[in-house]
């Protein structure tokens, strides 16, 4: 079965932000509406669809969207109390603020060790500091990969940072994403 045909995912991209967000600097995002606030609205929309099993909605975010995903997987931070948590979450090259609550969703973080926009050390700290409460938390760090390692464009300077595709990280991240969502959304769904 085609994975895309089997899954309906909520996707949040940093590219949707109207202003540039620099997670390497201390302080809140530069956006007027925090990206993580879009997640409950999008999840409610998907869960209302008759073909969607409400308890099997996953989320994936890239850059600022990945930062928002890491907010959404924390208990009581973004999710409304009357809604289920996401069944699985993937954050690509996110900025990682110190966690403010325990994990409530199985989560995969994919990051490059050469990312100068969202330094991987912050995500290592996030991973090591968070209380998992029995949830699966994995982090894969790609050697030499920069911010936007899955982008179609070659490495280049943007907004004072060096970003762009890393073919090895791109290929592996696609396999990791497929395997993670299959294990957490498809296989659990059939049980």
pLDDT at 16: 39
- Of these ranges, 34-43, 79-88, 181-190, the one predicted with the greatest mean pLDDT is 79-88
pLDDT digits (tens, 9 = 90+) for 84-139: 899 999 999 999 999 999 999 999 999 999 999 999 999 999 999 999 999 999 99
Strand partners, 91: 61, 109
Report the predicted TM-score, pTM, of the whole model to 2 decimal places: 0.84
Range 3-190 classified under CATH 3.50.50.60: no
Report which secondary-structure segment, H or E, holds 34. Answer: none
pLDDT digits (tens, 9 = 90+) for 8-67: 455 544 443 333 334 444 444 434 456 667 777 788 888 888 888 888 888 888 898 899
Return the structure tokens found at 94.
């996110």
Name residue, tokens 């079965």.
1
Would you say 69 and 94 are in contact if contact means Cβ atoms under 8 Å apart? yes
């Amino acid at each position: 079965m085609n994975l895309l045909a089997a899954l309906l995912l909520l996707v949040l991209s940093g590219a949707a932000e109207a202003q540039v967000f620099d997670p390497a600097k201390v302080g809140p995002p530069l956006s007027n509406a925090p990206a993580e606030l879009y997640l409950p609205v999008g999840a409610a929309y998907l869960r209302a669809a008759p073909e969607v099993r409400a308890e099997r909605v996953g989320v994936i975010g890239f850059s600022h969207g990945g930062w928002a995903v890491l907010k959404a997987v924390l208990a009581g931070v973004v999710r409304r109390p009357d809604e289920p948590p996401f069944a699985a979450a993937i954050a690509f090259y996110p900025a990682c603020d110190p966690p403010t609550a325990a994990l409530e969703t199985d989560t995969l973080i994919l990051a490059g060790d050469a990312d100068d926009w969202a330094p991987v050390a912050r995500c290592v700290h996030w991973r090591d500091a968070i209380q998992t409460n029995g949830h699966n938390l994995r982090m894969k760090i790609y050697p030499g990969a920069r911010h936007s390692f899955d982008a179609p464009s070659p490495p280049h300077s943007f907004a004072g940072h060096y970003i762009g595709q890393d073919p090895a990280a791109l290929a592996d991240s696609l396999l990791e994403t497929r395997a993670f969502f299959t294990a957490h959304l498809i296989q659990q769904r059939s049980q």
